[in-house]
Amino acid sequence: MTLEQLAIIILLLLTLGFFIWGRYRYDIVALIALIVATLVGLVPYDQAFIGFSHPAVITVAAILVVSKALMNSGLVDVIVRAMQKVGQNTQIQLLVLLISVTLVSGIMNNVGALALFMPVAIKMARKNEQSPSLYLMPLAFGSLLGGMMTLIGTPPNIILSSYRSEALDRTPFFMFDFFKVGGPIALFGITFIFVFGRFLIPHRKAKLTQDDLFEIKDYITEITITEKAKIANKKVREIERITKGEVIVIGHIREGERFKEVSFYRNLRPDDKIIVRAGAYDLQELLDATGLELAETHKLNAEALKKEDISVTEATITASSDMINRTVKSLNLRSRYNINLLSVARAGNRIRTTPSDVRLKAGDVLLLHGGEEALQEAVQRFSLLPLQERNIRIGKIGNVFATSGIFLIAILLAAFNILPVQIAFLSAAVLMVLFKFIALKELYESIDWPIIILLGALIPISNAFETTGTAQRITELFFGSATPLAPALTLFILIGITMLLSNVVNNAAAALLMAPIAVNIALNLNASIDPFLMAVAIGASAAFLTPIGHQSNTLVMGPGGYKFTDYTRLGIPLSLLIILIAVPLILLFWPL
């Protein structure tokens, strides 16, 4: 093994290690890896940024824009509205949810499809007085299964299609080439989840409600400013200064009228009332230190906080959020957005420490309080996913037909190879903007930039992995002793390895790393390359074992109250089923 090959192996192992550690977001890790690879000469300077113009990157960005435009038009909301009219049988509701998210994931980004149906699933669970855990893991897994069915369903499929075209100088995979294998897998997968899911999915936090999760009634309290109180005629900020931020003022009432916003610099007059968020010990300490009095003998619940445009909302932190690995205190939510973080829940349990000191993670559920506009701004700014029921809007029927028509034309142009997929969907995205189905601001907000950065940074490294002969060397080490039965057996092994890798790193990264190895395996066995690329596509999309392997799994972890190991109970048998089904299908439709 040459020094150059050893260097790229070490770099890739370090990169994978940082991906698994999760201390730094994957796009930052990928950028650092690209810089190192360039500085040590593994990637030529003039090739360092070639990944950002790669067809796969353009296609992923364009599909995200088109998906957002479809949601704006009301098309997907029509589907959700129809889906909600399925009766009261919980099993039928779950089946309809599963089928719906799987089908929608096949034609739009699977994370976007999950985000659309999650609030509906949570509402159904609470209405039926059941644990959301019974609904959310099937929903996440359904979104992954749906992504396997089409070229645009998930980034790995787009990557492998582009790899077939760019690296191997062949025609790319067509739109529905993946359906030959992905369609039956999705069907069997949905059936397995529906039949066996109820026995394998743990029941977490049954009958979960907002009050149960955050115990709002235990620490939201109304206080009266008495004439003898030490803070009478002093500014609001004095309360938080005295308690060192342990008691937070979230409401201010004067003469029966509630101020729209709480200002640190507004004076507290006698007979004013304030609503505070505080633990029992901190509240008693405030009362003792200031002479304030409780306004009521009972404490408040969430509904008492919803006055006019002031509301309380739950939202989960997505994998691309800027909040990850930051403390609430460092985000300055109060001063920058005039909203309060009342509580943080992780894996279904409220974190008992002071919220401002909590270091946030993907999948955490936040309870936010503030004006509706301020909450919407914060949700968009920090890439949060609201968990309350979506406001279903039908939209203008003309917009629904127009966006649907543009989307269908793009699919047909790509499916019949009239235009390359990146050109077809980029054109569709531009038309969506020109016809104002998506605003310019939404255009850039709809793109998952961490994924774009990840792809753009890893593509040159993936190229170096192959051009340096490293992929070939690894193939020889692990698959060098091929027997006559090896091609079919190797497909089993290849899917399994890709699955394991996809469960600890981003699925796009798994596809980029395994594609060169798959090609070299095929060449060593004198077999067709296509079945091995298809094996990587299936394995990269089958991240069912951990909450960190795919954003869909991460999104449901907090609202579902899942533990890290809960995913394996359903994920292991589902993964084994997929391998057993995938290999015969690949050999049938993509013969060796």
Q: Are residues 24 and 127 in the same domain?
A: yes
d(CA 457, CA 435): 33
Contact 338, 250 (CB under 8 A): no
| Residue 214, in any domain of the structure | no
| Residue 215, in any domain of the structure | no
Q: Are residues 91 and 197 in the same domain?
A: yes
Phi, psi of 431 (to 5 degrees): -65, -40
Collect all residues with Cβ–Cβ distance below 8 Å to 328 and sequence separation of at least 6: 341, 344, 355, 356, 357, 358, 360
Residue 206 has a pLDDT of 42
| Residue 406, in any domain of the structure | no
| Residue 303, in any domain of the structure | no
Instruction: CATH number of the domain at 281, please.
Output: 3.30.70.1450
Contact 70, 112 (CB under 8 A): no
pLDDT reading at 492 higher than 60 = yes
| Residue 474, in any domain of the structure | yes
Residue 331 has a pLDDT of 84
For residue 585, give its domain range: 3-207+416-589
Q: Are residues 566 and 454 in the same domain?
A: yes
pLDDT reading at 283 higher than 90 = no
Q: Domain count of the chain?
A: 3
Q: Are residues 238 and 145 in the same domain?
A: no
Collapsed DSSP state (helix, strand, coil) of residue 174: coil
- pLDDT digit string (tens) for 393-425? 444 556 788 888 998 999 899 888 889 888 999
Residue 36 has a pLDDT of 95
pLDDT reading at 285 higher than 80 = no
Residue 297 has a pLDDT of 45
Phi, psi of 73 (to 5 degrees): -70, -25
pLDDT reading at 287 higher than 70 = yes
pLDDT reading at 317 higher than 60 = yes
Q: Are residues 81 and 138 in the same domain?
A: yes
Query: 277 - beta bridge partners?
Result: 220, 248
Answer with the residue of higher pLDDT: 275 or 306: 275
Residue 208 has a pLDDT of 43
Phi, psi of 482 (to 5 degrees): -80, 140
143-147, 225-229, 428-432: segment of lowest average pLDDT: 225-229
| Entry field: residues in the chain | 592
| Residue 392, in any domain of the structure | no
Q: Are residues 132 and 230 in the same domain?
A: no
What average pLDDT does the segment 229-255 reach? 84
Q: What are the CA-CA distances from residue 176 to residues 167, 182, 188, 415, 419 (Å)?
A: 21, 9, 18, 7, 15
**Phi-psi label, residue 383: left if phi above 0, alpha if psi -120 to 50, beta otherwise:** left
The 3-state secondary structure of 424-454 reads HHHHHHHHHHHCCCCCHHHHHHCCCHHHHHH
Collect all residues with Cβ–Cβ distance below 8 Å to 131 and sequence separation of at least 6: 125, 203, 204, 205, 206, 207, 208, 560, 561
Of these ranges, 144-153, 257-266, 343-352, 362-371, the one predicted with the greatest mean pLDDT is 144-153
- Where b means 16+ CB within 10 Å and e means fewer, 511-537 reads bbbbbbbbbbbbebbebebbbbbbbbb
What average pLDDT does the segment 375-382 reach? 84
pLDDT reading at 586 higher than 70 = yes
Q: Are residues 475 and 541 in the same domain?
A: yes
Contact 552, 368 (CB under 8 A): no
Edge-first strand listing for the sheet containing 293-294: 257-258, 248-254, 273-277, 220-224, 293-294
| Residue 411, in any domain of the structure | no
Using alpha carbons only, what angle is made at residue 175 by residues 170 and 181, rounded to the nearest 5 degrees?
Answer: 95
**H or E, element range at 248:** strand 248-254
What average pLDDT does the segment 486-494 reach? 85
Q: Are residues 320 and 354 in the same domain?
A: yes
Q: Are residues 19 and 94 in the same domain?
A: yes
| Residue 213, in any domain of the structure | no
Q: Are residues 245 and 199 in the same domain?
A: no
Q: Which two tokens stand for residue 531?
A: 């079945």
DSSP 383: T
Residue 207 has a pLDDT of 43
Q: Are residues 201 and 238 in the same domain?
A: no
Where a domain ends, among 298, 328, 343?
298
Answer with the residue of higher pLDDT: 479 or 525: 525
pLDDT reading at 222 higher than 90 = no
165-179, 366-380, 417-431, 469-483: segment of lowest average pLDDT: 469-483
Pairing of strands 384-386, 310-317: antiparallel
Place of tokens 């399994």: 496
- pLDDT digit string (tens) for 70-106? 877 877 667 666 766 766 677 888 898 899 999 989 9
What average pLDDT does the segment 372-396 reach? 71
Percentage of residues in the chain having pLDDT higher than 90: 26
| 554: amino acid identity, one letter | T
Place of tokens 């359906």: 179
131-145, 305-319, 383-397, 555-569: segment of lowest average pLDDT: 383-397
Q: Are residues 164 and 232 in the same domain?
A: no
Whole-number CA gyration radius for the chain: 26
Where a domain ends, among 275, 298, 321?
298
Extended beta strands in 295-358, E state: 310-317, 339-346, 349-350
Residue 558 has a pLDDT of 79
Percentage of residues in the chain having pLDDT higher than 70: 87
Collect all residues with Cβ–Cβ distance below 8 Å to 502 and sequence separation of at least 6: 510, 539, 540, 541, 542, 543, 549, 550
Contact 314, 388 (CB under 8 A): yes
